[in-house]
Amino acid sequence: MNNASIARVLLAIVSPLAAPRDVRRSLERLSARDRARLVRRAADEGLAPSLHAAITACDAAHVLPDPLVARVRQLATHCLAHNLAFGRAIDGILDAFRDRGVDVALLKGSHLITLSPHAARHRPMVDVDLLVPRASVAAATQRLDSIGYQQDAATPAWNDDVFGDDYHHAPVFVDPRTGIPIELHHDLAPRYAPFALDVDAIWRRADTIRRNGRDVRVLAPDDLLLHLSLHAAFNHSLEVGVRPLVDIATVIDACGDDVDWPRLVDTATWCGGGKHVHLMLTLAADLVGAAVPADALAQLRPADFDPRFIDVAADFVLDRPPSVGVLDHLARDRRSLAEPVGDADTPHVGEGLGRRWRAFRRLSARDKLRFAGRGVSRVGDTLGAIASAAARGRLNAALRGIAARRRIAAWTWSR
């Protein structure tokens, strides 16, 4: 099996809709070599805990060799402990913000682990994303500083004159004790994006749910799907693997009829992100079995839609695992995130995407603005991908991936 085929099997196994009989059958059909590759891909994608849950639920652990079973069990145990630590950090921040009257809403993984018990146990967190009103960013950053979170020493205090409209979240904070990073968003996408989100309307639609005995604001289910889709398709150019597709399927499975599909269609179309949302929902439906209504996809389908484009995007996502395995990264000392970067060009010198992105986030605010506000990091990512792949003798594969990315970007940026 090639990389894409392994990824398809993995998604079929960890899908929220997977039947136990189908999971066992999928595992039994794999060769010994492909079973090892399945576990490696699951670890790279941050899906090993979900794989462990799936094989445990269908009593299929005997299908895998003992070392592979031990590996996924170890990663699942680590994920649970890891997410518990993140949960304690989230609760502490929520309490600290409430004491100062700062409105806050959970985003992305923070929302998912609150929404879904399965995600809380099996969906590894990477950072804590929170949404605060733009007028409250300064107060929120001061409050994080007061409870021990730190930024790079060269990072100036938040103010609009320094960060402007191009930067949609404050520079990352890190807990020096645990290495847990915090991103405070005042918007859901940079202002140079080819879509314009009405954040005030998103706040008005936000729901209030209970988390560990406290009320917490979260995005409405349709806005959560909108954000997950735009974040994966635009912010990360589909280069974060297949886990966003599983996240989308998890939200749809957990929220059910609470998803306002007509409003999602209207919001995505109005803001100009319809192509990104159509792409991600189609991929989630095709590859993970997400229960996306056919009429919603039909209404989101762009006038210039070509079904071959979905094949290009699917091949791109399936054939390219993240440069740095999610759980392998989490197993390292996260306090290294707080180390300063000596050279502003470091994120663009042929390193893996995950490492380059983390290095980029550790830059000073002024250096970040040199890249983030002007899209130069896209060029750096491309050059880095070429250099990294060439060093491994895979230049042709890299060029094919870059060509696919250019086709995806050109189509989604057109209105």
Side chain identity at residue 93, one-letter code: I
Whether the CB-CB separation of 217 and 207 falls below 8 Å is answered with yes
pLDDT of 413: 55
pLDDT of 354: 43
Contacts of 77 (CB under 8 A, 6+ apart): none
Q: What tens digit of pLDDT does each residue of 210-253 get?
A: 898 889 999 999 999 999 999 998 888 888 889 999 999 999 99
**Is residue 407 scored above 80 in pLDDT?**
no
pLDDT of 154: 56
Q: What tens digit of pLDDT does each residue of 2-29 get?
A: 888 999 999 999 998 888 888 989 999 9
Nearest to 295 by CA among 281, 276, 284, 306: 281
Distances (CA, A) of 385 to 79, 392, 399, 400: 29, 11, 9, 11
Q: Lowest-pLDDT range, 57-61, 284-288, 292-296? A: 57-61
Whether the CB-CB separation of 361 and 172 falls below 8 Å is answered with yes
d(CA 120, CA 111): 10
Which of 49-59 are b and which e, b meaning 16 or more Cβ less than 10 Å from the residue's Cβ?
bbbbbbbeebe
> For the residues 145-151, what does the mean pLDDT come to?
90
How confident is the prediction for the chain on average, in pLDDT?
79
Give the three-class secondary structure for 371. Answer: helix
Q: Are β-strands 207-211 and 214-218 bridged in parallel, bridged antiparallel, or unpaired? A: antiparallel
**210 bridge partner residues:** 215
**% of the chain exceeding 90 in pLDDT:** 50
Q: Lowest-pLDDT range, 158-162, 224-228, 268-272? A: 158-162
Distances (CA, A) of 277 to 203, 223, 248, 281, 289: 20, 11, 11, 6, 16
The two three-digit tokens of residue 190, written as one number: 């940079």
Contacts of 345 (CB under 8 A, 6+ apart): none
pLDDT of 29: 92
Q: What tens digit of pLDDT does each residue of 272-292 get?
A: 999 999 999 999 999 999 999
Nearest to 116 by CA among 228, 266, 233: 228
> For the residues 257-284, what does the mean pLDDT come to?
94
**% of the chain exceeding 70 in pLDDT:** 74
pLDDT of 321: 64
The two three-digit tokens of residue 166, written as one number: 């191009």
**Is residue 265 scored above 50 in pLDDT?**
yes
DSSP 171: P
Beta carbons within 10 angstroms of residue 181's beta carbon:
22
Side chain identity at residue 321, one-letter code: P
Q: Are β-strands 173-174 and 181-185 bridged in parallel, bridged antiparallel, or unpaired? A: antiparallel
Q: What is the number of alpha carbons within 13 Å of residue 402 lying toward its C-beta?
A: 19
* DSSP percent split of the chain into helix, strand, coil, nearest 5: 65, 5, 30
pLDDT of 133: 92
DSSP 8: H
d(CA 123, CA 48): 9
Whether the CB-CB separation of 10 and 243 falls below 8 Å is answered with no
**Confidence category of residue 405, pLDDT binned at 50, 70, 90:** low
Q: Lowest-pLDDT range, 155-164, 332-341, 389-398? A: 332-341
d(CA 7, CA 287): 9
The two three-digit tokens of residue 2, written as one number: 């090639």
